[in-house]
Amino acid sequence: MRVVVTGAGGQLGTDVFKLFSSNGHEVLGCDRTKLDITNQAECNQVIDAFQPDAVIHCAAYTAVDAAESDVDGAYLINAVGTRNIAVAAEKIGAKLVYISTDYVFDGTSTTAYREYDNTDPQSIYGQSKRAGEILAQTLNSRYFIVRTSWVYGAHGNNFVKTMLKLGQEKPELQVVHDQKGSPTYTVHLAEFLLELVDTECYGIYHASGTGECTWYEFTREIFEQAKEILNVKITANLIPCSTEQFPRPAPRPSNSVMDHVSIRTNGFKDFPHWKDGLSEFLNIYDY
């Protein structure tokens, strides 16, 4: 299979490129220097020239707080950029995988979100990603929308790396205990995409680590596993706090947990538990 990966220099895109390549696929990895997704003519040219069977669209504007004051910037990348990729892929009959987010929901549900629950994004980031979903659905006839959450991996900055650093530097660390979700290891997400794109099971998928935790519980597990696996000394005293104690420009979902109905009903293997994903990551982490 010939595959184009946008955002190939990013946290998820790097692992997607490596995994697809190592599984015998011919992959064109496009970072922002190789493909400006906001340029429609360039998207058409690059995708038409390579003639991929599938496009894995990982490129995105992900600065959640910055998006609140950079509305046009968020929509330019997450909406217009996605439109350009969707149209270019449709022109040559390529499948489209659009990576989306739990932020398309309002985050107030008392139960896990299913794939076809009503969306109601509360932040500019979430609204722009939802716009990308709509454009992917309406402009490409062979689409997979894959919503994920709390992503971390070996490449780029993320919550796990930040907590490992702060845990060894700070005497005290306050972490939010009233937002819950499901941490997702990039390698596990890439493995799911590898399996998914080889099918015609089009539609919307929720794809995250199984189980749930708060950011505080996630941090506590990071510290416990880091002591055992990495043999590091954690000095920080971990203290739970509320969202109100740390106001941010963009609202955060209280509940980011997503039910994997589409994974189950389409016969795919579900994700490992989030604690197992963390263990896998720490065991390969070049600390």
The pLDDT assigned to 287 comes to: 67
Phi, psi of 5 (to 5 degrees): -115, 115
Beta bridge partners of 97: 56, 144
Q: Which residues of 173-182 are buried (b: 16+ CB within 10 A; e: fewer)?
A: bbbbbbbbbb
The pLDDT assigned to 285 comes to: 87
Q: pLDDT (tens digit, 9 = 90+) per residue, 22-71? A: 999 999 999 999 999 999 999 999 999 999 999 999 999 999 999 999 99
Low-confidence ranges of the chain (pLDDT < 70): 287
**HSE toward the beta carbon, residue 250, CA cutoff 13 A:** 23
* Annotation marks residue 125 as catalytic: yes
Alpha helices in the chain (DSSP H): 11-22, 40-50, 64-67, 71-75, 81-91, 124-139, 159-169, 186-196, 215-229, 261-265, 274-284
Q: pLDDT (tens digit, 9 = 90+) per residue, 234-263? A: 999 999 999 999 889 999 999 999 999 999
Phi, psi of 246 (to 5 degrees): -130, 70
CATH of domain 2-158+182-212+256-273: 3.40.50.720
Q: Which of 61, 98, 113, 125 is catalytic?
A: 125
The pLDDT assigned to 120 comes to: 98
Beta bridge partners of 287: none
Domain locations in the chain?
2-158+182-212+256-273
Whether pTM exceeds 0.95: yes
